[in-house]
Chains A and B, each alone.
Chain A
Amino acid sequence: MTLGLGEKELVPLREELELLQRFLAIEKVRLCERLHVDVHVEAQAQTCMLPPLLLQPLVENAIIHGIANLPAGGTVRLSAECSGGHLHLSVENSVDPDAPPPRKGGRGLTNVRQRLGARYGKEASMKTTAEEELFRVNISLPAGMADAPAQPSESELAPAKEVRL
């Protein structure tokens, strides 16, 4: 599945989320009860298209720079919604307020920003917010829909749900 992704230009959010769940399952083995994950995805957003592996580095950052530094752990919140012709994504994580500022030269955020810029130009935006105990990345990109050959079944279009790993 991963190898096949490189050939695809865009994937539906649903697929990106499936991949993320697998990644999170591995991190869950490492961090056990220290890692909480909240996923809140609007039903309509599930079929929105986005570049493959766009969210993965953001979630990985949230864990490495956020949750892994907290002795008692914390929560990674992922949310997606569709409005005004745009797909709005946000990845949010708890951070240690006393941690030294992250070292420069990290590639994750830069890569995501460049990929968005290259594909969508000014149509897409990315914003990071660093608060005392919280770090958040907001992404907005044009909400192209999947060329659904058939109507997605009811089960695939499940209403917004919260998944707690």
Chain B
Amino acid sequence: MPAQSKIRALLVDDEDLARHVLRELLKSHPEVEIAGECANGFEAVKAVAEQRPNLIFLDVQMPKLTGFDVLELIGTEIPVIFVTAYDQHAMRAFEVHAVDYLLKPVGRKRFEAALTRARERVAEKKPMPAELAAAARPPQQFLERVVIRDGTRVTLIPVSKLDYAEAQDDYVALASHGAKHLKQQTIASLEAALDPARFVRIHRSYIVNFERVARIEPYGKDSRLAILTDGTRLPVSRAGYARLKSLLDDRV
């Protein structure tokens, strides 16, 4: 077997018993080396950076960070086999081009089929387009928290604690409790993911949490400033002001 098709697999599941099953199933596959085991999404993000696996067995339902959150943070270059007890995530799994979707309890036959597909995918070495990860969110459901990765460290910001977001080239700076976190995402795609009843695009470069707006002041000839409860001043464009006003009218 050529060296490049050697598989280094990462096992990610919060239940030890589930990882044990995978270990057992992998025993008859000497060509698959277990690069590491992770009991949650935080460990997984770290292990991906440090162990450089080329295949991930990924559980979906895990504490705090789901399997889909992990994918959003690590990108979709590494082939993933989802292993989950629930079938309702299957559509999302296909949207992020998972190699396969295994339902627990995992049987030997089904496992072998998934591994064969994974081997082909690893040999192809075809990276997946990064934007597919963004499609991982189910439609018609607004973001409840933002996940941010800084190296191997992962931060979660519940949207209720997000004060505002500022566009910075290909990044958005997310302001929460006086701290700013950079995330590689366009402000437009963030806006689309947030609940429009709670977040307003007040400017080309700014989205604000409506709850944080204390007052609006005129500024210059045609524009205004939004003063937040913590004193932060953000520019409001004419279109942004119209959006703020209509949200206010909806609420009254």
- Residue numbers of A with Cβ under 8 A of B are 29-32, 34, 68-71, 96, 98-100
Query: What are 6 inter-chain pairs, A to B, with CB distance below 8 A?
Result: A30-B15, A30-B17, A71-B63, A96-B63, A98-B158, A99-B64
Check B131 for interface membership: any CB of A closer than 8 A. Answer: no
Q: CB-CB < 8 A to B156: which residues of A?
A: 98
Q: CB-CB < 8 A to A71: which residues of B?
A: 14, 39-40, 42, 63-64
Q: With both chains docked as a complex, state the minimum distance between the C-beta of A42 and any C-beta of chain B, in angstroms.
A: 33
Q: B145 contacts A98, CB within 8 Å?
A: yes
Q: Please provide the chain B residues from 3 to 23 with a CB less than 8 Å away from any CB of chain A in the complex.
A: 14-17
Q: With both chains docked as a complex, state the minimum distance between the C-beta of A102 and any C-beta of chain B, in angstroms.
A: 12
A70-B64, A71-B42, A98-B158 given; 7 more Cβ-contact pairs under 8 Å: A29-B17, A34-B14, A69-B63, A69-B64, A71-B63, A96-B63, A100-B158
Q: With both chains docked as a complex, state the minimum distance between the C-beta of B224 and any C-beta of chain A, in angstroms.
A: 32
Q: Mark B180-217, 1 if CB is under 8 A from A, else 0.
A: 00000000000000000000000000000000000000
Most buried by B among A32, A69, A96, A98: A98
Q: B64 contacts A96, CB within 8 Å?
A: yes
Q: With both chains docked as a complex, state the minimum distance between the C-beta of B126 and any C-beta of chain A, in angstroms.
A: 33
Check B144 for interface membership: any CB of A closer than 8 A. Answer: yes
A70 vs B156: C-alpha distance when bound (angstroms): 13
Q: B158 contacts A31, CB within 8 Å?
A: no
A31 vs B63: C-alpha distance when bound (angstroms): 11
Q: CB-CB < 8 A to B158: which residues of A?
A: 98, 100
Q: Please provide the chain B residues from 40 to 55 with a CB less than 8 Å away from any CB of chain A in the complex.
A: 40, 42
Q: With both chains docked as a complex, state the minimum distance between the C-beta of B157 and any C-beta of chain A, in angstroms.
A: 8
A98 vs B64: C-alpha distance when bound (angstroms): 8
A30 vs B156: C-alpha distance when bound (angstroms): 25
